[in-house]
Amino acid sequence: MKKKIAEDGGPIRVQKFLSDAGVASRREAEELIRDGFVMINDEIVDTLPAFVDPQRDVITVRGRRVRPRAPMYLMLNKPKNVVCTSGPKAGRLRVVDLLPPDLDATPQPVGRLDPEACGLVLMTTDGELAQRVAHPRYEIAKRYSVEVRARVTPEHVAQMARGVHLAEGKARAEAIEIVDTRMDRTILEMTVYDEIPRMIQRMLAKFGFEVHTLKRLSIGPLVLKGLADGALRSLTPVELARLIEVVKSARRGKSRTRRAGTAKAREAREAVKKARVAGAAESNGMPARGGEIRGPSPRGGGKRSDTGKSETGGTTRRIVT
């Protein structure tokens, strides 16, 4: 029985159908549509949104008919210096180049993993599942092993657990564990939800640390084990069932960086509102409701400083938020 995130039957978006059939990723499918390469029942479709009924309509791409296929789910152990894309080669080895040539469809990589990073990459023709796993709003955890050629202290770990400001907003690790530490090397395990480009490297760079190796160990319930570099395999029925269960139960909300930015904007609006109320009250000779409004402290800048404590035992320290 074919497992899908959405119920079967009825019209679906053309780009979703093409992605599920392994023709291209959703974004690439949209380009095929706009370029006029897609036909439905012998009529060119070149505008979006466009819908198709896979059970009734005849869909062709560049003159070749595309038929619905059962979704494909693969686990790949990506080596270093392999690009996590199915787009043009541009002289670099891609994850799709590691696929067997006899596959009926081309599964697409889910999310991004930097070329210099290695480890678990989920590849699938199930566009709906891929979107939910990759998008930070569904909060599917990704766990990484990170080697830093420096000594990372519990204070650094606590700060990254509280959050580090990047251009996209406040980024934070959901869990951080110091697995091993020596004079000039620290191995961390970091769990994150957001997929900000080079997020872990940029968070550590805030403290002057350069990442030496970065390896993805897990995506949600999927754990990388028993696969050599560049090897891949299909998900087991148990792995697939667990992944679908996690994806179905994932709470849809704004990404944490967007929520952080929204909260900061909301605080600013509240401060302006209070200042206006205070000004109006003073102009009428009345005290402002709720007491006086104090300016920021010259030393602290009006910000409250948080302190974090970590429990240490041997070479392992763990801070979970």
Tell me the catalytic residues.
114
Looking up tokens 């505008």, which residue turns up? 47
Q: How many CB atoms lie within 10 A of CB 68?
A: 13
- Residue 281: CA atoms inside 13 Å, Cβ hemisphere, count? 14
Q: How far apart are CA 143 and CA 176, in angstroms?
A: 9
In terms of Cα–Cα distance, which of 256, 251, 243, 253 is closest to 203?
256
**Maximum Cα–Cα distance for the chain, whole Å?**
83
Strand partners, 232: 76
3-state secondary structure the chain: CCCCCCCCCCCEEHHHHHHHCCCCCHHHHHHHHHCCCEEECCEECCCCCCEECCCCCCEEECCEEECCCCCCEEEEEECCCCECCCCCCCCCCEHHHHCCCCCCCCCEECCCCCCCCEEEEEEECCHHHHHHHHCHHHCCCEEEEEEECCCCCHHHHHHHHHCEEECCEEECCCEEEEEEECCCCEEEEEEECCCCCCHHHHHHHCCCCCEEEEEEEEECCEECCCCCCCCEEECCHHHHHHHHHHHHHCCCCCCHHHHHHHHHHHHHHHHHHHHHHHHHHHHCCCCCCCCCCCCCCCCCCCCCCCCCCCEEECCEEEEEC
Looking up tokens 């070149």, which residue turns up? 46
